[in-house]
A and B are shown apart, each in its own frame.
Chain A
Amino acid sequence: MERPELEEKVRKVLAENLGRDFEEVTLEARLEEDLDADSLDLVEAVLALEEELGVKIPEEEMESIKTVREAVDLVSAKIEGGE
């Protein structure tokens, strides 16, 4: 999957799961501070990303995601790594 396509997909999944408009979920947006996500919201978003994109994101790595861009980076690395 090309980067722009992946970015759009991750932003879409996050927007749906966090109850936000797609435009609000910019790459720079911080999940907790800007998008009001609490820990359960994040877990749900990660579950949705896993399902949509067929990747597995372990708990330790999940905690390192602070921004939308970091979520895209992590998912991208997982897809390339064939995980």
Chain B
Amino acid sequence: MTGRGVRAGSSRQTEEASVRRSERTPRRERVVALVTGASRGIGRATAVALAGDGFAVACNYRGDDAGAKETVRGVEDAGGVAAAFRADIADENQVQEMLREIKEWSGAPLVLVNNAGVLRDGLTVKYPLHEFERVLRTNLSGAFLCARETLPAMLKARWGRVVNVSSAAGIRGNAGQAAYSASKAGVIGLTQSLAKEYGSRGITANAVCPGFVETTMTEDFIDKHRDRLIEQIPAGRIGAPEEVAGVIRFLTSEEASYVNGAVIAVDGGTTA
């Protein structure tokens, strides 16, 4: 499964480039996938799913050492390969340092899942600007930074996959979520621009838009409003992280090679 996409490139340049690479370093058996925010929730489920497809998964996290270790253990227990890399994706230097470490570990990622995100609810009239900017910085600028730093290797390989985790709140607004919703709508714009910029090079960029999913980020809100929320969801239930991870896994696969710039709701029908 993995590596096939990289070798499948048909242009002369690609073949020459891969020959040059293999002269310098032994061919890497596994393609590296970077999943940001992998210490819990959708990120953790995605790390496990991608490892199951044969990727070596670089699990980024910001602060939750224990959570990141648990994700790595989960991957290893299932027979996969993973390692944890600490970095705040809102910080340019930390992102660059993390990518240096990942390259040393197992090579430059050719799959990027921009999953890390923060959420702080509040009505606009009382919402502090610094909080608004913090949410945008992580959710939107962080995704941009990780894409910018991983794309050169994908361009060289003439193959790559970027999957950005947006949100149902990026498609429809949510009262009390102006910052989060704006950041996630921005992620869709980023995704579609990347799709057009690099679509000619075997690189796809797609967005998934989860609705309500049981994760630590959303647990307080979901617990408080469960009955009312479920009324709005045609599926009649809250989603599981694995149900989002399955879509992400598909988008990183060879089967999804003609899916580019798509915005896929994974919300039990909520935004339909």
**Which of A's residues lie within 8 Å of B, judged by CB?**
16-17, 19, 40, 43-44, 47-48
Contacts and interface: CB of A to CB of B under 8 A. Distances in A.
Instruction: Sort A-B residue pairs by CB-CB distance and give the 3 closest, nearest first.
Output: A47-B152, A44-B155, A19-B13
B155 A47 contact: yes
A24 B153 CA distance: 27
Contacts, number: 16
Contacts of B13: 16-17, 19
Nearest to B200: A40
Would you call the interface of chain A mostly helix, strand, loop, or mixed?
helix
B197 interface: yes
Measured as residues with beta carbon below 8 angstroms from the partner, the interface class of chain B is: 10 to 19
Nearest to A19: B13
B197 A19 contact: no
A37 B206 CA distance: 27
Would you call the interface of chain B mostly helix, strand, loop, or mixed?
helix
Interface string B15-38: 010000000000000000000000
Contacts of B16: 16
Given A17-B13, A19-B12, A40 B156 contact: no
A56 B198 CA distance: 22
Interface in B181-237: 197-198, 200-201
Nearest to A18: B13
A15 to B, nearest CB: 10
Nearest to B152: A47
